[in-house]
Amino acid sequence: MTASHPVSAHSQQDDRSVGRPPFVSSSELERDPHAVFRHWRERTPVIQREDGACLVLRAADVEALLIDLRTRQIDGALYSRVRGVPPGPLQDLLVASLLMSEGDAHRRRRAPMSRVLAVRAVEALRDTVRSAAESLIDDVEAKGRIEDEIDLMSTFCAPFPPLVMSRLLGAPSEEARAFARWVYQVSPAFAPALPSEDMAAMVEGATRLTAYVEQCLAKAMAGEALRSDLLENMAAAVAVDTLTPGEAVAQLVTLIIGASDTTRAAMAIQVGLVLATGQAWSRLGDDPNLARAVVAEALRLEPPVGSAPRFSMEEIALDGATIPAGRLVSLSTLSAMRDPARFSDPDAFLIDRTDHTRWPLVFGGGAHRCIGEALARMELEEGLMALSRRLPGLRLAGPAPKIEGYAGIRRVDGPRVTL
C-alpha cells in the first residue's frame, strides 16, 4: 500500500469482521474521489470518514436509501445551530427551506412550485432560456474581440442560471447582475461544509435576496400584472393560507439558489468535457438530440452535485456493513453513477451510451428529488447549443476545468477558452 493509494491504512479486515465500515480519510477522498470509490465499491457498500460520516457507494443502495424512512433529511434548525448561523434571514431561510423539511411541511412547501417546473410547463420557457444564453454570448463575443483568452465560467456559466431565474421572476434585465451577486454570496450556505469565514457575505446575500424576492411576491399578491407563473402560484398559496408569506419567500429563494451553483458547475463541466475530448463541438448547435445526449452523459460522469446528505435514524445493515444510528450519511451519487453494476465502461465519456437510467441519480431521488430537473436540462442543452452555434471555433486555452469535491455541490475552475 503506497501513500497515494486510495486505501486507508486502517485495518479493513478488523472493520469488516464487525460490519463497521472501513475508514477513508477526507484528504484521500479530496485527492481523487473516483479512485477511492472505484477501489472500495467492489469491496464494501459503505466507507466512513474520520468524522464518522458514512458514505454509501453502490447505485442500488443509494437508490434504496433515498426513499428509506430510516434516513431523514438534515434538519435546518439543527444545521444552523451546529454551523453557527446567526438569527436573521439566513437562519430563517435554512429553517423554512423545503430542502431541509420533511413530511407535511415539505409537501406544502414544494407543491406550489412543482407544476411551474414540470416538463411541459418548462418547455414553454425554452425561448426565454435561449435568449438568456444568447445575450450572455453577445458579451463573450465582445470580450473575445479584446482579449485572447476568456474565462467561460465568469462570463457565461456563472451568470446564466441566475439570469434565467431572474427572468422567471419577471425581473428587469438591469437588475440581473445584482441578483446574481446576491445568489452567489448566499449559495455556500447550502454546502456540506458551510464555510464559517464567509458568514458575513452569506448573511448579506441572504438579506438582500430575501428582500428582493419579498418585493416581487408583494407585487404578485397585490395583483400587479406580472409575467411570472412562479410568483402567481406562490401568491395563490399564500392567499389560501397553504404557506405563510415568509415560507413562500424561503421556497423561492431556495429555488433560486438551488438553480444556480449546480447548473453553473454542470455547464462548465460539460463544455470542458466536450472540448477536451474533441467530440462533436461543431455539430451540437443544430442537433438537439446530440445536445441531450451530451448533457446526460456529462451529468453522469462528472456530476455537479456529488451526494445527497441524510441522517440515519436507526442502524442500517447493507450487505455486510452496518451504518450506525445517528450518523451523517452521504449517499454518494458520484460513486453510484460509475457503478459497473449499472453502467458499462463506467469511467468513459460515451455520448452514445444506451444504459442511462430513467431517473438519473444526479438529481437525487424520493420526496426531495430535484424539482428543477427539467429546467436544468433545458438550460444545459440550450446553453451548449447556443455556444456551439455562435462560437464554432471555441477551444480550451489550457487544461480541462479542474473539478474538486465529492459531496454536495462540487467546485469547478474554468474552463479558460479561446474563441
- Residues in the site for ligand HEM, rule: CB under 6 A? 98-99, 110, 117, 254-255, 258-259, 262-263, 266, 303-305, 308, 362-364, 368, 370-372, 375-376
Q: Minimum distance between the CB of residue 319 and ligand HEM, rounded to whole angstroms?
A: 23
**For residue 245, how far is the Cα from the chain centroid?**
26
Q: Which is nearer to ligand HEM, 334 or 419 (CB)?
A: 334
Place of cell 438591469: 174
Q: Minimum distance between the CB of residue 376 and ligand HEM, rounded to whole angstroms?
A: 4
Q: Which is nearer to ligand HEM, 228 or 262 (CB)?
A: 262
Q: Minimum distance between the CB of residue 338 and ligand HEM, rounded to whole angstroms?
A: 15
Q: Which is nearer to ligand HEM, 129 or 150 (CB)?
A: 129
Q: Which is nearer to ligand HEM, 249 or 419 (CB)?
A: 249
Q: Minimum distance between the CB of residue 147 and ligand HEM, rounded to whole angstroms?
A: 28
Q: Which is nearer to ligand HEM, 66 or 150 (CB)?
A: 66
CB atoms within 10 A of CB 341: 11
- Write down the H helix ranges in 18-58: 26-31, 33-41
What does the chain come to in residues?
419
DSSP assignment string, 100-126? G--HHHHHHHHHHHHTTTSHHHHHTTH
Tell me how many degrees the CA angle 403-329-82 measures, rounded to the nearest 5.
90
Cis peptide before 192 (omega within 30 of 0): no
Q: Minimum distance between the CB of residue 81 and ligand HEM, rounded to whole angstroms?
A: 19
Of residues 161, 255, 191, 84, the one with CA closest to residue 405: 191
DSSP assignment string, 196-264? GGGHHHHHHHHHHHHHHHHHHHHHHHTT-----HHHHHHHHHHHTTSS-HHHHHHHHHHHHHHHHHHHH
Q: Which is nearer to ligand HEM, 208 or 310 (CB)?
A: 310
Closest-approach residue to ligand HEM (CB): 372
Q: List the strands of the sheet with 71-72, edge to edge.
A: 46-48, 54-56, 328-331, 308-312, 71-72
Q: Minimum distance between the CB of residue 325 and ligand HEM, rounded to whole angstroms?
A: 20
Q: Minimum distance between the CB of residue 154 and ligand HEM, rounded to whole angstroms?
A: 19
End-to-end CA distance of the chain: 45
Q: Which is nearer to ligand HEM, 90 or 308 (CB)?
A: 308
